[in-house]
């Protein structure tokens, strides 16, 4: 029984070290616990994969740095998928705090596929107003964005010649950490311009998105880091990318972290009940 | 392993390590970061409040704009929120500290007046609609079963919250089942919160390992 | 939540992708063209509806005003409606719609005259008005009956019976009670409920003469809490026992406040901790540290995300509405008991609607009773 | 005077805003927009009040040289510098307040504070989460199912686990949340009504007539 008592008095810092290591190690050397791609991630992947080369995919970066761990890998994976299929990527955003992230992606990912800014990828930037922005883009993108994030007039960008308004874009992948987000793209882009909408959301708000899946309005859904990892695996299995997959590595850490929490609860309860039985 | 050269990444990394040092022991490095955090967040909200609310809605129209742009009527209207806002400062003057009740009365009254219909709309009428059993449930056996279970779950859980009757007989059975649903519901949100917090921790480690130390690509 | 429903309704109107080449035959003019003032709006808007079974390349919409006739929009053939928001109120307009084929344009008959006006009552929200009236009448009725002295029963709430025992325990052990009124502002319902309970707990600490510590995060809640405790000590006949530094402001930064209260609990080793009110992510820091110091912990919040931590880490937890009922339970004050009774009847009505409504909706499967299906629409929100 | 006028203001705005909800007329919409701006302005002053009490607290700590007074310099300096940068160069993206202060100070500090909670959760899981009561045990079992179902390791243990976790989230969890929502909504509305009608006067701060 002495063992259980000492177990109860275990210093918190030992627990912190154990958790810290178990979460950090898989990031350095991924264990590859295998990420099985669920139906929702596959539905989005198939919808994008079926698009012919040359088509443009619109990605809405509607999140800020604080939800970056869960949502940024989705942005990267979708861009890699589009570029590998010689498709073009148009970036925009309804969150002012997301501009830095979209800019970072627009500068780094195209290089991996030898793609050129203005020809294969354009970042429009942020504009205030949610319905005004989406409805405006529906009529004519240039009304809302006369110039892109870097100040180039839209007419000077070759890619924008065959993308005048939302009807020219088959699908929008709205990555949202809250509102404004995918619900606005559904409310304005889909019901008025018939655009297909795929959504990427944080794990906490995934449950709210399920009704839109059942009703068929959402073409696919990536939920939290797991959703990002599923899409990364799909992109890699299709041979579109061999790069390091941050979400997949993170899923190993997430798995270990969950297991550690459960073991701690079990051990804690066993020690608690053992000492209580002895003392009562 | 190529460490980052950007000052800003170093600042972010040092602050991250500073906050995490609290896990080992409360120490001056943590206290510095915590007090810095308090100061920066206060300054940030002041700047945002000025540019998003005070300047565009009060200062500019009331003081800067000429009468041609903002008619006298509008300016007088703006004096009301200004006066109410200034009442907050009476809290520091003991004799008139009761004047703080005027802005509180306005904010509370307005807030409650807006909240009541909105709460009826989203938390009651819409939720009732969502709880109805509709003919659609007769589709598949599992859809039917889950619809019945959640229907019973809602009703029993509401019975748990009954206050004006002793929980005896049928009411006791209902509230006991209600507790089961409540606890499973809380367990689910507990599981979710664990996942959300762990993702943030993983995000911090990815920042430290990739952007700062460059150990992972 | 509202937009959730609009989106689900919008599901049915996804315009089918336009396929198939236009047939060269001249398109038939759009039929059943109707124009009416858009209901339940702030005016300046007229809605057009038509049934476009033509195979035209596009449709033209023409408006004839008192002084001008202009074509205001061209739309896709699949469209069957248009919202004209460039109109003035109380001005008479007529509309015509044309189907544009390969070579020719065929106009429909023009609509009757119509003018736009703002409405004074939004008929879509009649269901909310009914719900409000019913609930208000009930709450006020029960408050009045309570005022006339009829005693109202309140069921036992485990956490609150422990308050008496907890305060007694603190006195025997000669250790203080820490009461955290939550991190919310005075506009939050949970904070108002918590401040009322603080008043009751303060009366007991005055009677038992045990020490009470109330750290605050919101400057306004701090002033209200101080008044509450001072008033309770005078009501309990012990104005002298009230110590000025028992209720104090710490900081309004969430995690700095949590760290400060943790330090307080570890130093003072209180016999009982109360965590009642609005809590966010810091609830776990408080509950876990409190559990270490061996104090009895009574928690209560309406935040669904924080309740799991309180339930596992504390001895007693008031779940959501139990926190609101606590002040009525402790004070036995007729006004509070009355409104509690009103809430219970509100819940009964909701359950009745849900059960009866479901039964009727399920019956609506049989063709003869199909009209029951419209019950669902009555609960639409917009 | 000190109590009746505030109560009257509270009653007036409470009733008017409730009625406004049902009136789509442009005048009513204009009134709503006007008063929303007022609430934001008055709220801004409340922020100044909160900051005032914070600054007074730290200045007092500084003057009295109470233990840890030098940290108060850090808070006051950080607040002053950030306010100057914010007011001086504006809050739009691309300006120093967003690019430097927000991205390199606030985001890491905030994220780290939240990430610390993951460690607290681990230590709390060990030291405080006891299946003391039947309810707490039920809660922990449901938590295990959801936690395992949400990560690949769960699917590796048993193929059906993710579906069960999905079920727990969409059936019992949804039912419980909806029931709590009814109760909290009615409780909140009753309390709000009592504040508007002046029955609930706690916010007046008791005491003085």
Which residues of chain C neighbour B111 with C-beta distances below 8 Å?
Answer: 187
Q: Which residues of C touch A184 (CB under 8 A)?
A: 3
| Co-location of D4 and D86 in the same domain | yes
Contacts of D114 in chain C (CB under 8 A): 281
Only one residue has tokens 């996804």, namely C14
| Phi (first) and psi of residue D68, to 5 degrees | 75, 25
Instruction: Please tell me the total count of domains within chain B.
Output: 1
pLDDT tens for B49-88 read 888 878 888 888 888 888 888 888 888 888 999 999 999 8
Dist. CA C33–CA B77, nearest whole Å: 46
Confidence at D73, pLDDT banded by 50, 70, 90: very high
Task: Report the residue from C8, C13, C17 with minimal CB separation from A215.
Answer: C8
Neighbours of A (≥3 Cβ pairs closer than 8 A)?
Answer: B, C, D
Longest dimension (CA), chain A: 82
Residue D166 lies inside a defined structural domain of this protein:
no
Question: How far off is chain C from D60, nearest CA to CA, in Å?
Answer: 13
Q: Cβ distance C2 to B121 under 8 Å? A: yes
Give the span between the Cα atoms of A211 and C1, in whole angstroms: 12
- Chains near D with 3+ CB pairs less than 8 A apart are A, B, C
Q: How far apart are CA C307 and CA C305, in angstroms?
A: 6
Give D71's contacts (C-beta < 8 A, 6+ positions apart).
Answer: B31, B32, B35
Nearest by CB: D41 against B13, B57, B109:
B57
Q: Do residues C58 and C100 touch, judged by C-beta distance below 8 A?
A: yes
Segments forming the whole domain that contains residue D35: 1-90
d(CA A75, CA A68): 10
Task: Report how far residue A138's alpha carbon sits from residue D199's, in angstroms, rounded to the nearest whole number.
Answer: 52
**Measured between alpha carbons, how far is C99 from C59 in angstroms, rounded to an integer?**
5
Residues in chain C: 382
Q: Is D203 part of any domain?
A: no
How many of the other CB atoms lie within 10 Å of CB of C165? 11
Task: List CB contacts (< 8 A) between A202 and chain B.
Answer: 196
D38 shares a domain with D23: yes
Would an 8 Å CB–CB cutoff place C4 in contact with chain A? yes
Residues C294-353: tens digit of each pLDDT: 899 999 998 888 888 898 888 899 988 888 888 888 877 788 888 888 899 999 999 999
Closest partner residue to D152 among A8, A34, A260, by Cβ? A34
What is the residue extent of each domain of chain A? 39-247
Domain boundary among D79, D107, D128: D128
Per-residue pLDDT reduced to its tens digit, D85-140: 988 888 776 778 777 888 889 888 888 888 888 888 888 888 778 888 888 899 99
Helix, strand, or coil here: A222?
A: strand
Taken as a whole, chain D contains a residue count of: 209
Distances (CA, A) of C26 to A20, C33, C100, C333, C370: 74, 19, 9, 80, 41
Residue A261, phi then psi, degrees to nearest 5: -60, -45
Residue B140 lies in a domain: yes
CA distance readout (Å), A181 to A32, A45, A106, A176: 32, 20, 20, 5
Residues from chain A that touch D172, judged by Cβ atoms under 8 A, are none
Task: Please check the confidence at residue C67 and state whether its pLDDT lies above 90.
Answer: no
Residue B186 lies in a domain: yes
Strand partners, A201: A176, A223
Give me the numbers of helices (H) and strands (E) for chain B, helices first please. 7, 0
Please give the structure tokens belonging to residue D94. 């691309």
Number of Cβ within a 10 Å radius of residue C269: 13
Rounded distance, CA D32 to CA D39, Å?
A: 10
Q: How many C-beta neighbours within 10 Å does residue C184 have?
A: 22
Cα–Cα distance for residue pair B163/C346, rounded to 1 Å: 12
- CA-to-CA distance for A110 and A107, rounded, in angstroms? 7
> What letter does residue C16 receive in the DSSP assignment?
P
Show the 3-state SS of D119-131. HHHHHHHHHCCCC
To which H or E segment does residue C74 belong? strand C69-75
pTM above 0.90, yes or no: no
Cα–Cα distance between A278 and A2 in angstroms, integer?
11
**Taking CB atoms and an 8 Å cut-off, how many pairs form between chains A and D?**
96
pLDDT classification of A143: cutoffs 50, 70, 90:
confident
Q: Which helix (H) or strand (E) holds A78?
A: helix A68-84
CATH among 3.40.50.300, 1.10.10.60, 3.40.120.10, 3.40.50.10160 for A39-247: 3.40.50.10160
User: Given a cut of 90, is residue C270 above it in pLDDT?
Assistant: yes
Strand partners, A88: A56
Q: Within the 161-180 window of chain D, which residues sit less than 8 Å (CB to CB) from chain B?
A: 165, 167-180
What b-and-e string marks burial along D99-125, b requiring 16 or more CB atoms within 10 Å of the CB? eebbbbbbbbbbbbbbbbbbbbbbbbb
The pLDDT of residue C19 is above 50: no
Distance, first Cα to last Cα, chain A: 14
Residues of D in contact with A18 (CB under 8 A): 122
β-partners of residue C318 are C300
Starting at the edge strand found earlier in the chain, the sheet holding A121-126 runs A121-126, A88-93, A56-62, A171-176, A196-201, A218-223
Indicate if the pLDDT at residue B194 is higher than 80. yes
* B138 chain-C contacts, CB cut-off 8 A: 365
Residue B156: what pLDDT? Answer: 94
Q: CA-CA distance, D142 to D159, in Å (whole number)?
A: 18
pLDDT band at C10 (very low <50, low <70, confident <90, very high): very low
Confidence of residue B10 (pLDDT cuts 50, 70, 90): very high
| Cα dihedral value A188, A194, A196, A200, nearest 10 | 0
**How far does the CA of residue D122 sit from the closest CA of chain A (Å)?**
6
> Which pLDDT belongs to residue C8?
44
Classify residue B153: in a domain, yes or no: yes
Per-residue CA distances from D173 to B122, B175, B177, D165 (Å): 18, 16, 13, 10
Name which of D133, D128, B164 is nearest C159 in CA terms: D133
How far is residue C84's CA from residue C70's CA, in Å, rounded to a whole number?
12
Domain that holds residue B187: 133-217
Confidence of residue A279 (pLDDT cuts 50, 70, 90): low
> What are B122-161's pLDDT values in tens digits?
888 888 888 888 887 887 888 889 899 999 999 999 999 8
Q: Report in angstroms the alpha-carbon separations of C150 from C32, C335, D193.
A: 64, 11, 22
Alpha carbons C262 and C264: distance in angstroms, whole number? 5
Residue C2 scores a pLDDT above 60: no
> Cis omega (within 30 of 0) on the bond before A50?
no
User: Which chains does C contact via 3+ CB–CB distances below 8 A?
Assistant: A, B, D
Number of structural domains (chain D) is 2
Element (H, E) at A213: helix A206-214
Nearest to D78 among B36, B50, B149 (CB): B36
pLDDT of D26 > 90? The answer is no
CA distances from A43 to A46, A211, A221, C7, C35 (A): 5, 16, 8, 20, 41
- Which helix (H) or strand (E) is C100 found in, with range? strand C94-100
A84 touching C (Cβ < 8 Å)? no
* Cα–Cα nearest to A49, from A235, A221, A181: A235
CB neighbour list of residue A153: distance below 8 Å, 6 or more residues apart:
A146, A147
DSSP assignment, residue B121? I
CA–chain centroid gap for D16, Å, is 27
Which pLDDT belongs to residue C4? 45
The whole-number pLDDT of residue B64 equals 85
Query: What is the reported pLDDT for C14?
Result: 42
CB atoms within 10 A of CB A161: 9
Q: A232-236 long-range CB contacts below 8 Å, 24 or more apart?
A: A232/A35, A232/A73, A232/A77, A233/A35, A233/A37, A234/A37, A234/A41, A234/A42, A234/A45, A235/A45, A235/A77, A235/A80, A235/A81, A235/A84
Mean pLDDT for chain C? Answer: 82
D206 in the Ramachandran plot: left (φ > 0), alpha (ψ -120 to 50) or beta?
Answer: left
**Local confidence band at C120 (pLDDT 50, 70, 90 cut-offs):** confident
What's the mean pLDDT when you consider all of chain B?
87
- A264 and D126 Cβ atoms separated by less than 8 Å: yes
d(CA C271, CA C168): 10
Q: Is A117 on the interface with C (CB under 8 A)?
A: no
pLDDT confidence tier of residue C24, bands split at 50, 70 and 90: low
Same domain, D40 and D67: yes
* Residue reference for tokens 């309390």: D191
A125: left (phi over 0), alpha (psi -120 to 50) or beta: left
Whole-complex ipTM: 0.79
Which letter does DSSP use for residue C320 in this model? Answer: T
Q: Give the separation between CA D41 and CA B41, rounded to whole angstroms.
A: 19
Per-residue pLDDT band for D145 (boundaries 50, 70, 90) equals very high
Residue D201 is encoded by which pair of tokens?
């006067």
C227 vs C215: CA distance, rounded Å:
14
């Amino acid at each position: 029984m002495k063992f259980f008592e000492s177990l109860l008095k275990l210093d918190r810092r030992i627990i912190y070290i154990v958790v810290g290591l178990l979460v950090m190690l898989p990031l350095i050397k991924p264990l590859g616990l295998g990420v099985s791609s669920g139906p929702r991630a596959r539905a989005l992947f198939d919808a994008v994969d079926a698009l012919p080369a040359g088509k443009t995919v619109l990605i809405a970066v509607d999140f800020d740095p604080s939800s970056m761990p869960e949502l940024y890998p989705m942005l990267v994976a979708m861009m890699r998928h589009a570029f590998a299929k010689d498709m073009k990527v148009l970036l925009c955003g309804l969150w002012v705090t997301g501009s830095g992230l979209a800019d970072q992606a627009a500068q780094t990912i195209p290089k991996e596929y030898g793609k050129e800014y203005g020809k294969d990828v354009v970042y429009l930037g942020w504009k205030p107003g949610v319905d005004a922005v989406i409805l405006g883009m529906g009529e004519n993108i240039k009304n809302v964005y006369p110039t892109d994030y870097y100040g180039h007039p839209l007419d000077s960008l070759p890619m924008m010649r065959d993308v005048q308004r939302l009807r020219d874009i088959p699908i929008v992948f709205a990555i949202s950490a809250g509102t404004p987000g995918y619900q606005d793209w559904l409310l304005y882009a889909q019901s008025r311009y018939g655009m297909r909408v795929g959504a990427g959301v944080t794990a906490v708000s995934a449950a709210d998105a399920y009704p839109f899946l059942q009703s068929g309005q959402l073409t696919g859904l990536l939920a939290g880091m797991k959703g990002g990892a599923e899409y990364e695996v799909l992109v890699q299995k299709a041979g579109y990318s061999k790069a390091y997959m941050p979400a997949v590595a993170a899923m190993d850490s997430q798995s270990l972290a969950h297991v550690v929490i459960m073991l701690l609860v079990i051990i804690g309860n066993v020690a608690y009940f053992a000492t209580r039985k002895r003392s009562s | 392993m190529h460490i980052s050269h950007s000052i800003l990444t170093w600042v972010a990394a040092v602050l991250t390590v500073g906050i995490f040092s609290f896990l080992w022991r409360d120490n001056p490095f943590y206290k510095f970061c915590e007090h810095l955090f308090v100061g920066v967040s206060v300054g940030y909200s002041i700047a945002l409040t000025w540019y998003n609310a005070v300047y565009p809605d009060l200062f500019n129209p009331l003081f800067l704009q000429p009468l041609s742009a903002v008619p006298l009527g509008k300016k007088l209207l703006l004096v009301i929120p200004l006066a109410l806002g200034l009442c907050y400062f009476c809290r520091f003057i003991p004799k008139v500290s009761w004047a703080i009740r005027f802005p509180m009365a306005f904010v509370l009254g307005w807030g409650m007046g807006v909240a009541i219909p909105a709460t009826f709309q989203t938390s009651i009428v819409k939720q009732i609609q969502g709880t109805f059993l509709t003919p659609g449930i007769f589709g598949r056996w599992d859809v039917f079963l889950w619809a019945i279970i959640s229907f019973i779950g809602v009703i029993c859980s509401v019975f748990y919250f009954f206050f004006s009757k002793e929980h005896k007989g049928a009411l006791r059975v209902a509230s006991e089942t209600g507790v089961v649903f409540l606890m499973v519901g809380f367990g689910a949100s507990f599981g979710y919160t664990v996942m959300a917090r762990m993702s943030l921790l993983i995000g911090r480690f990815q920042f430290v390992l990739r952007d700062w130390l460059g150990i992972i690509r | 939540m509202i937009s959730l429903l609009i989106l689900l309704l919008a599901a049915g109107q996804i315009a089918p992708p336009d396929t198939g080449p236009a047939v060269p035959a001249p398109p038939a003019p759009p039929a059943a063209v109707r124009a009416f003032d858009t209901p339940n709006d702030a005016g300046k808007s007229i809605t057009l509806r038509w049934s476009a079974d033509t195979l035209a390349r596009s449709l033209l919409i023409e408006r004839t005003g008192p002084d001008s006739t202009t074509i205001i929009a061209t739309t896709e053939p699949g469209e069957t409606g248009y919202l004209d928001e460039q109109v003035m109120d109380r001005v008479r307009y007529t509309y015509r719609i044309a189907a544009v084929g390969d070579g020719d344009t065929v106009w429909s008959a023009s609509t009757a005259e119509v003018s736009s006006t703002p409405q004074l009552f939004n008929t879509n929200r009649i269901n909310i008005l009914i719900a409000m009236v019913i609930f208000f009448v009930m709450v006020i009725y029960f408050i009045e009956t309570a005022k006339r002295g009829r005693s109202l029963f309140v069921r036992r709430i485990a956490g609150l019976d422990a308050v008496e025992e907890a305060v007694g325990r603190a006195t025997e052990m000669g250790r203080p009670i820490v009461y955290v009124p939550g991190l919310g502002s005075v506009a939050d319902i949970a904070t108002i409920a918590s401040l009322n309970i603080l008043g009751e707990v303060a009366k007991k600490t005055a009677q038992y003469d045990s020490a009470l510590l109330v750290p605050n995060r919101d400057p306004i809640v701090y002033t209200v809490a101080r008044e509450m405790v001072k008033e309770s000590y005078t009501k309990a006949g012990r104005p002298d026992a009230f110590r000025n530094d028992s209720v104090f402001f710490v900081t309004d930064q969430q995690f700095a406040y949590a760290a400060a209260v943790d330090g307080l609990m570890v130093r003072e080793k209180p016999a009982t901790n109360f965590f009642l009110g609005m809590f966010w992510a810091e609830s776990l820091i408080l509950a876990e540290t409190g559990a270490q110091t061996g104090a009895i912990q009574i928690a209560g919040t309406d935040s669904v995300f924080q309740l799991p931590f309180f339930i596992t880490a504390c001895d007693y937890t008031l779940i959501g509405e139990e926190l609101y009922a606590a002040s009525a339970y402790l004070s036995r004050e007729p006004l509070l008991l009355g409104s509690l009774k009103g809430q219970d009847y509100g819940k009964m009505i909701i359950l009745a609607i849900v059960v009866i409504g479901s039964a009727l909706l399920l019956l609506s499967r049989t063709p003869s009773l199909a009209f029951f299906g419209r019950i669902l629409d009555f609960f639409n929100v917009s | 005077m000190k109590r009746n006028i505030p109560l009257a203001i509270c009653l007036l705005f409470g009733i008017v805003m409730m009625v406004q909800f049902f009136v789509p007329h442009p005048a009513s919409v204009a009134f709503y927009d006007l008063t929303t701006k007022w609430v934001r302005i008055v709220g801004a002053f409340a922020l100044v009040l909160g900051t005032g009490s914070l600054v007074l607290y730290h200045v007092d700590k500084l003057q009295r040289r109470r233990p840890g007074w030098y940290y108060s310099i850090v808070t006051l300096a950080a607040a002053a510098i950030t306010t100057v940068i914010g007011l001086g160069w504006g809050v739009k993206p691309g300006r120093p307040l967003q690019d430097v202060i927000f991205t390199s100070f606030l985001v890491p500090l905030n994220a780290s504070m939240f990430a610390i909670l993951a460690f607290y959760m681990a230590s709390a899981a060990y030291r405080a989460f006891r299946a003391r009561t039947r309810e707490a045990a039920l809660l922990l079992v449901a938590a295990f199912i959801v936690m395992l179902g949400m990560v690949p390791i769960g699917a590796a243990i048993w193929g059906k686990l993710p579906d069960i976790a999905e079920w727990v989230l969409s059936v019992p969890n949804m039912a419980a949340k909806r029931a709590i929502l009814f109760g909290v909504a009615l409780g909140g509305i009753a309390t709000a009504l009592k504040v508007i009608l002046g029955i609930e006067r706690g916010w007046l701060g008791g005491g003085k007539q």
